[in-house]
Structure 1
Amino acid sequence: MPSLIASILLVASVAAVEPQVLTDPGTFGPALQIAHYYYGQMPTGIAVSRESRLFSTYPACLDGNNTNTPQTPNKYQVAELMPDGSEVPYPSVEMNSPPGGALNMSTNPPTSANYDNYLIGCQSAIVDSQNVLYILDSGRAVNPDSGALLSAVYGGPKVITVDLSTNKVIRTYRFPQTVVYSDSFLNDIRVDRTPGLSGLTSNGSEGVAYITDSSLEGRNGFVILDLTSGESWRHLDNDPRVHAKQQVLPWVNGNPVLFAPQGQPYSRAAIGSDGIALGADGKDLYFSVISGRELFSAPTAALRAHDASSELVLAASITNKGEKGISDGLETDSNGVIYAGNVEQEAVVSYFPSNSSVQTFVRDPRINWADTLSVGWDGFLYFTVNQVHLMPNFYPGTERRQHPGEPWEKQSINQTRYEPLRAQPAPIFIETKTTSGTQDSANVQLGIWVAAWYERMRTVAAQAGIEERLLTLPVIQVVGGV
């Protein structure tokens, strides 16, 4: 018996001193903190005003559960996220309620509605340097019965500007059908209000908007909008740099993301020009495709030009900045740092134009599909995490988006709760109101994450060779079109 005991002790001793195996910690950078809970509709966009008011978009052009129909009324395309956790349709309930819904079923084939004074399918919104909200309406909506994305009709695709001091519409910009096609998908927008920009009318007093067309059916490219005259034009239609890279396969949470179009075999998702970010000085526009890992830039002066040779000049002036991972949205701060989601690394990364280096800004297992990013006047980076890759559009073709804390089987899509979080340099606990009381941030699964910067940015800036003096500037004070 003593020898048996000795053997057991020997085994225990060996186990106790077994070398540790290197393990991925799974997290990096500032901790994440809740900014808002989404209880119903799926969001994409997030925009932040000078007063830290938050606005989200809920695109009917992406999710049929967001589509207004006579059978499913009271949906909204844009809402203000209130401090008490509620979502208030913005700029009004009326604008979010097109008469008869967002679909026109009286035509053959059916189309999206063509209202120019109601919201149809809004993918993005952004607040400019003058605290004006720009709402980008694709003019398209998914038929919730068939799952088909219906074509746009003139009047539906538009940009609506709203004065945030009065909550009143300032102007509506409509696009001719030669610029925004019936199968276009207006995705993201950036605005530069700098007066006197080249290529614009009336000295460009109101500035310019740059918009991506991410159409799956048609031509990818850029739409440029003169905010003074309302004139618009296209650039780079199906240029290889704005088109999906062939056979690219994203991986999220260890699983391949395969497209599952209705009635067709599974395939690699071919999604072209999507996220854009305007450089801090307004001279370059950074862009990328979802089905690709590279970051590109184009001179904004070449994008604004629209003479006979402008397309050739623009195509020759695009620069490949190298890989930064598969991303949806992009954003810029006032130091010129470009932020991009990295869906394969559960992260947001930073690109430094001064030396073309890429660093991880924040990483966390709860970040899956970082969609839209928005730098706020309050010194935070906001971004939505909305589980796009778990929609029925992707393999295995079933609804897999989950609401935190409960098995999916207990929820229907209309009850899904998307939850926003935020990150600060030091871990803290936040109490968040739920239907069952309160819970701390450790229990939250997804949402909008807000990443605060200062300590992390000192480290990253030093690694990237950014001069210390740059960090003494007012960090994330919104400049130009940011």
Structure 2
Amino acid sequence: MLKKVLLTASMTAVLATSAVAMDGLEVVAEWNSLPYAVKDAKIKENWEKSDLYGKALIMGAKVDSDGSIYVSTARWGGPSIPSTLSKLVKNGDVWELEAYPSEEMNDIANASGLKAVLGFEIDRNDVMWILDQGHVAGGENKPGDAKLVLWDIKQNKEIQRYDFPADQADPKCSFLNDLAVDNDTGFAYIADSGIFCDPLHGGLLVYDSKANKARRILDQSKFTNDEPNFFFNIGDRKVLKNGGMRTGADGIALSADKDKLYWTNLTGNHLYRLDTDLLRNFDTSETVIEHGVDMVTTLPSNTDGMTADDKGNIYLTALSLDGVMKLDGETGQLSRFIFDPEMKWPDTLAWGPDESLYIVSNHLHLWVDGDMNFKDPDVPNFRIWKKSGVGKSYTTK
């Protein structure tokens, strides 16, 4: 069985020490194959007999106020993955994925449960905003599959949900990717990559939690779809090997004062921005919104995950640069903030309670190409990195 971390504790310590000496980084968890802690006998049996067994892909990670780490593993490969949202729990020296909030909530047969979570956020109140894109193995969504669930971690209960109708998240085309949360106004902003149709069906969604309603904007626009003829490499490898990857709106972040919304398209290198006062008024016309889009800068690398701190700085993963970029909130200067040659496909960013920035790297390009070595790769397939002393989450302000 592959239910173990492929590096020993001593080897992990050497790697972590090396990373700290080089970049002020440490590796807090790593795997070649994701180990799930499954209690339900039927779910466990289905998983262990599945062709996907041992081949799940970690995508997102977030950290609550107690320092607990949660991860997402969207069911892109199929329904047998035990949980799409999990909490990391220690079993000896191994970090395992335990279904969160419960196995029942993650049960693929549960009509109101979680189907395929990719993006999620934990706000300053320890409320987890769970974005369920719904699609399992790319299949068409049924009503209620694509949704946003607000879960109170401290009280361990659901406090709100919103099911996206077909005109906001197309049952066939949508790919709800990530979100940014404004506690003060109750708004959330969501990136839809729209990858399941050609041409892409990218767009942004604005959700008002106080009114429990949403609106889709910039649908299939040049600001939310892929850029024509864009291509990129990870090292010397083309992404993807059988044809260029095409992905629309992906990384998304709010400024510390919540006045600006930033986003990028994964297959593109432009950073866009919009005034959020335009978006919080659902009567603002699409024409006004389109004319309000500002192209901030051309990035030296395309990006996947984004976040912001409480000082106004924006952090963006750099896919072709093996690290993280930083956009200075005061000067507008863009710089390389984190680099490690083993940080292949830095996917998601998260904030810890100790002012640390967490980064997930997952070699996604190898997984999508079917070329991932789950037994003995030169570099662990999946890592959660931590850089200390960076700052506080944008949600804290």
Superposed pair shares fold, TM > 0.5: yes
- 2:143 is matched with which residue? 154
CA offset at residue 481 of structure 1? 7.7
Distance (Å, rounded) in 2 between the aligned partners of 1:377 and 1:300? 27
Distance (Å, rounded) in 2 between the aligned partners of 1:444 and 1:91? 27
Equivalent pairs: percent with the same residue? 26
CA offset at residue 28 of structure 1? 6.1
Residues 209 and 379 (structure 1), Cα distance of their counterparts in 2 relative to 1, 3 Å cut: same
- 1:401 is matched with which residue? 372
* Counterpart code for 1:193: N
* Counterpart code for 1:185: F
- 1:44 is matched with which residue? 59
Structure 2 residue 83 is matched with structure 1 residue 76: yes
Provide structure 1 residue ranges, at least 5 long, that are not aligned to the other structure.
Answer: 1-26, 102-114, 143-148, 196-206, 260-265, 409-442, 455-474
Distance (Å, rounded) in 1 between the aligned partners of 2:25 and 2:181? 30
How do 1:159-238 and structure 2 match up within 5 A?
159-182=148-171, 183-195=173-185, 207-216=186-195, 217=197, 218-238=200-220
Runs of 4+ in 1 over 3 A off after TM superposition: 35-40, 443-446, 478-482
Structure 2 residue 74 is matched with structure 1 residue 59: yes
1:378 aligned counterpart, secondary structure: coil
Distance (Å, rounded) in 2 between the aligned partners of 1:380 and 1:312? 40
Tell me how large the CA RMSD over aligned residues is: 2.1
CA offset at residue 35 of structure 1? 3.4
Identify the range of structure 1 (220-229 vs 38-47) with the bigger mean alpha-carbon deviation: 38-47
CA offset at residue 447 of structure 1? 0.7
How do 1:393-472 and structure 2 match up within 5 A?
393-394=368-369, 399-403=370-374, 406-407=376-377, 446-453=382-389
Cα shift readout 1:412-443 (whole Å, capped 9, x = no counterpart): xxxxxxxxxxxxxxxxxxxxxxxxxxxxxxx8
Distance (Å, rounded) in 1 between the aligned partners of 2:381 and 2:295? 35
CA offset at residue 355 of structure 1? 2.2
Cα shift readout 1:24-65 (whole Å, capped 9, x = no counterpart): xxx9632332235443431111111111111111101xx31x
CA contact (8 A) 1:56 1:125 kept: no
The count of corresponding residues between Structure 1 and Structure 2 is: 348
2:327 aligned counterpart, secondary structure: strand
RCO comparison, higher one (Cα < 8 Å, 6+): 1
- 2:123 is matched with which residue? 128
Structure 2 residue 106 is matched with structure 1 residue 96: yes
* Counterpart code for 2:190: I
Distance (Å, rounded) in 1 between the aligned partners of 2:163 and 2:248? 23
Structure 2 residue 272 is matched with structure 1 residue 296: yes
CA offset at residue 254 of structure 1? 1.8
Residues 286 and 28 (structure 1), Cα distance of their counterparts in 2 relative to 1, 3 Å cut: farther
1:94 aligned counterpart, secondary structure: helix
- 2:288 is matched with which residue? 313
Distance (Å, rounded) in 2 between the aligned partners of 1:479 and 1:365? 28
CA contact (8 A) 1:251 1:257 kept: yes
Distance (Å, rounded) in 2 between the aligned partners of 1:334 and 1:83? 31
Distance (Å, rounded) in 1 between the aligned partners of 2:162 and 2:381? 38
1:86 aligned counterpart, secondary structure: strand
CA offset at residue 180 of structure 1? 1.3
Distance (Å, rounded) in 1 between the aligned partners of 2:26 and 2:335? 18
Please report the TM-score for the alignment, with normalisation by the length of structure 2: 0.82
Structure 2 residue 310 is matched with structure 1 residue 334: yes
Residues 238 and 353 (structure 1), Cα distance of their counterparts in 2 relative to 1, 3 Å cut: farther
Structure showing the higher strand proportion among its residues: 2
User: Which of 283, 302, 321 is the equivalent residue of 2:259?
Assistant: 283
* Counterpart code for 1:215: G
CA contact (8 A) 1:271 1:289 kept: yes
Please report the TM-score for the alignment, with normalisation by the length of structure 1: 0.68
CA contact (8 A) 1:367 1:446 kept: no
Distance (Å, rounded) in 2 between the aligned partners of 1:36 and 1:151? 33
Residues 173 and 314 (structure 1), Cα distance of their counterparts in 2 relative to 1, 3 Å cut: same
